[in-house]
Amino acid sequence: APRIVTLGEALVSLRSVGPLTIGGPLSMHAAGAELNVAVALARLGYASSWGGVLGDDELGEFILRSLAAERVDTTHVRRDTRPTAIMFLEARTPEVSRIFYHRKDSAGARLSPHDVDRLLDRDLAWLHLTGITPALSEGARAAVLHAAQTCRRRSVPFSVDVNFRSKLWSEQEAAEVLPWLTEGAEVVIGSPEELALAAPAGKTLEAAAEELLASGVGEVVAKLGAAGARAFTGRHVLDAPAFPVRAVDTVGAGDAFTAGYLSARLDGEDVAARLRRGCLLGAFAVGHLGDWEGLPRRDELDLLDRGPGETHR
């Protein structure tokens, strides 16, 4: 089976049911954009590996245990004396969530190019990267750029989800680094604003997509939230609607979308089917608390085809 590898920082996300200042119960989840993609692909039956640095602590142990339960390979995960990062997801009101990171000088930020070399072995069929990793530290930035460069040199296809995180770096910093990451990627995914950051001259989504395609990117995919998604291939522009579902927790939807899109591509499906699978996984993700807990196994992909409120007997 082709092995799909992702690398980045995994965090423990602690989700509140109300204002954090009031306290109360928190639920504990393994998170991190790349980890989410690795789990989503493993659920669909792919051989999937996640690489990164975890703290030599209970939280690192929790993440390893979660990945093992989901059949994600963690052979090349390194442990470090720094702590595993934490992220609070505060349900401040039912409509407004806030994210607070405790990830400065975390273990995950200690990622280095050396870690990447161990991870990108001969089985590698596809590498997935995000724009979060280069914002973590100098070493992590070097690591992720080295990973992309290794793929270009070895002609291994890779994808990039821009995933701009304003709490980690500025738009200016991101705009300087992202083109080095996305150059030559088979698939670049982001919101319209994120795609414009990765293509600094491109102000509109169309202009950004055109610029990215001109830089050697194969497909540019815009995530449009409840409006679905749009793909630009150079020859076609295709739209897909979101699935009508009740959104419980939208964090992680983008990663689910990415995994769905990539999986359909790896299955040899056309662009329309890739968009559809992306939106389908996004819909599964938003229906459940946690970034990836609600994602489908391959035999569950048609669950949302029947109407809402359906009990399958």
Residues 249-288 that bind ligand KDG (CB under 6 A): 251-252, 254-255
Q: Does 189 bind ligand KDG (CB under 6 A)?
A: no
Binding mask 283-312 for ligand KDG (x = CB under 6 A): --------x---------------------
Cβ-based nearer residue to ligand ADP, 99 or 214: 99
Find the distance separating the first CA and the last CA of the chain, reported in whole Å: 34
Cβ-based nearer residue to ligand ADP, 41 or 116: 41
Please say whether the beta carbons of 20 and 90 come within 8 A: yes
Cβ-based nearer residue to ligand ADP, 64 or 232: 232
Residue 232, binding choice from ligand KDG, ligand ADP, none, Cβ under 5 to 8 Å by partner class: none
Residue 60, binding choice from ligand KDG, ligand ADP, none, Cβ under 5 to 8 Å by partner class: none
Cβ-based nearer residue to ligand KDG, 132 or 259: 132
Query: Widest CA span of the chain, in angstroms?
Result: 54
Mind telling me the catalytic residues?
255
Residue 275, binding choice from ligand KDG, ligand ADP, none, Cβ under 5 to 8 Å by partner class: none
Rounded Cα distance, 208 and 40, in Å: 28
Contacts of 232 (CB under 8 A, 6+ apart): 206, 209, 210, 213, 219, 220, 221, 222
In the complex, what is the shortest distance from the CB of residue 191 to ligand ADP, in angstroms, rounded to a whole number?
Answer: 6
303-310 contacts, C-beta under 8 A, 24 or more apart: 304/243, 304/245, 304/280, 308/244, 308/245, 308/246
> 3-state class of 97 per DSSP?
strand
Residue 231, binding choice from ligand KDG, ligand ADP, none, Cβ under 5 to 8 Å by partner class: none
In the complex, what is the shortest distance from the CB of residue 225 to ligand ADP, in angstroms, rounded to a whole number?
Answer: 4
Q: Does 116 bind ligand KDG (CB under 6 A)?
A: no
Cβ-based nearer residue to ligand ADP, 224 or 289: 224
Question: Which helix (H) or strand (E) is 149 found in, with range?
Answer: helix 138-154
Number of helices (H), then strands (E), belonging to the chain: the values are 9, 14
Contacts of 271 (CB under 8 A, 6+ apart): 219, 231, 233, 236, 238
Binding residues (CB under 6 A) for ligand ADP: these are 191, 223-226, 228-229, 242-243, 245, 247, 250, 253-254, 257, 279, 282-283, 286
If you ran DSSP here, which 8-state letter would residue 225 be given? Answer: G
Binding interface with ligand KDG (CB under 6 A): 11, 13, 31-33, 36, 87, 132, 165, 251-252, 254-255, 291
